[in-house]
Structures are given as structure tokens and as C-alpha cells.
Amino acid sequence: EDKVVQSPLSLVVHEGDTVTLNCSYEVTNFRSLLWYKQEKKAPTFLFMLTSSGIEKKSGRLSSILDKKELFSILNITATQTGDSAIYLCAVGTNYGGSQGNLIFGKGTKLSVKP
Amino acid sequence: EAGVVQSPRYKIIEKKQPVAFWCNPISGHNTLYWYRQNLGQGPELLIRYENEEAVDDSQLPKDRFSAERLKGVDSTLKIQPAELGDSAVYLCASSLKGWSTEAFFGQGTRLTVV
């Protein structure tokens, strides 16, 4: 059974701290790994990773994928209270040569205190 | 550009009653997904459409859930009859073509069955 496991499930830090969120996966027919930020209802897209070892950056956020060890990390530097959210990791799969499904982890709830 | 639009935002119904959710994806997006998200969990796929065809509905509880995407644009998800365990947030997402491109989520519908 395909699965995506995120850790930690929750994390409390202070403003200015650096955090690392983890995502490991076991899926057949891996295609891509995506990170989303969910503040209220709608998850918003952060990154999509398809190749190992290539870091993607957006401001204070960065992410990298290791397809050999089957995991990804999401780093947030100099955290701000606005970074408080649930961070979702999802893996997109191939299926029968066409686009497959997106399997989500349970998420990491990040709380950044002033 | 308008994002994915869902309605209603909130719905409270008594058990055994029917309920329907509506989703208008981003214009031009071929792929549409319905997810269910329980508290503290990641989104779980219910059904995925490629244009008007349901290509994966393996996780849809077909005894009470149904969905349609007429003309390959808007979609509705229906539950009849609703059960207490159906209380969750129902998320709709769309992408240009599967997970080769990023997916955009709507604000979701929070369903409470009492």
C-alpha cells in the first residue's frame, strides 16, 4: 500500500528559528513530490520536486528530494508567525502510463510563537 | 485569474439527509479531484476526473456517494444519505493535466452531520 509519512506531526518554535520538516514515502510508480501549506482550508502549493538532489527555493523556504532514500525535507529559515500552518507533503504517482493520484501525508502542524 | 471555487463553504445537516457540494475548477484545467479531509489528517482522494471521465473512483463509497462532471467543467459531489462519520472538509482541486503540473485547491466545504 502506498503511503506518505510526515514528521514531526507538530512543532512549536519561536520566531527566528530554523525548522526542518520531513517527509518519507513508499509508493509504486513515483512521479513527483509536492509540498503544500494549509492555513485555513485550501492547501496552497509550495514546491514540486521530481529530481534528486536539486534544491528548490522560494524566499525563506527550500526543499530537496532524495529518491534513493525516499524522502524529502522542507526547510524554513528565520521563521515568522505567518509561517504557522499545516505543511502537507504529497506524492504523485504514475498509473498505467497516464497521470496517477496524489497521496497525502497527515501533515506537520507548525506553530511559530513571537 | 479566478481560483477553484467551491460552494457552500459550510453545511450542517441531520443524518440521513442528502447533501451536495459544487466545484468550479480553474478555466482550462482538465483534471479535477475531490478530496475529503478529516481533522488532523491529510486529504484523502475520493475521485479524480480527466475531463468528464472519472478515471479513479476506487476510494469513493459508492453506496452513498456520487459525483459527476458534466461537460468536463463544473463538478458536483453528493452524499445520500449522510452519516455522522461523513463530517469532514471536502476539498476540490484542479490541475492543467494531472500531477505534471501543480494542483490548485478550493477553499473547501466543511460538512457537519448531526
pLDDT one-digit tens code per residue, B61-96 = 999 999 999 888 999 999 999 999 999 999 999 988
Q: CA of A20 to nearest chain B CA: how many angstroms apart? A: 19
What pLDDT sits at residue B88? 96
> Per DSSP, which regions of B4-102 are E strands?
5-7, 10-13, 19-24, 31-37, 44-50, 53-56, 65-68, 75-79, 88-95
The predicted pLDDT at position B98 comes to 63
In angstroms, the CA B63 to CA A78 distance is 49
Q: Is the pLDDT of residue A98 over 60?
A: no
Binned at pLDDT 50, 70 and 90, residue A113 comes out as very high
Chain A interface, mutation test: which of B99, B100, B101, B111, most A Cβ atoms within 10 Å?
A: B99
Mean pLDDT of B11-25: 97
Inspect the interface and report whether the beta carbons of A105 and B42 lie closer than 8 Å.
Answer: yes
Residue A42: per-residue pLDDT: 86
Q: Using CB atoms, which residue from A93, A99, A106 is nearest to B42?
A: A106
- Region A103-110 average pLDDT: 94
Distance set, CA A41 to CA A1, A97, B114 (Å):
27, 32, 21
- pLDDT by residue (tens digit) across A61-93? 999 999 999 999 999 999 999 999 999 999 988
Q: Distance between CA atoms of B89 and B108, rounded to whole angstroms?
A: 6
Q: What is the pLDDT of residue B92?
A: 96
Q: Tell me the residue range of the domain where A97 lies.
A: 3-113
User: Is the pLDDT confidence value at B41 over 90?
Assistant: no
Q: How many domains does chain A have?
A: 1
CA A5 to the chain's CA centroid: 10
Query: What mean pLDDT comes out for the span A8-29?
Result: 95
**Residues of A with CB below 8 A from B99's CB?**
31-32, 34, 48, 92-93, 99-100, 102
What architecture does CATH give domain B5-100?
A: Sandwich (2.60)
DSSP B99: B
Residues 6 or more apart whose CB falls under 8 angstroms from that of A109 comprise A9, A10, A11, A85, A86
CATH number of residue A106's parent domain: 2.60.40.10
Give the residue among A110, A95, A97 at the shortest CA–CA distance from A35. A110
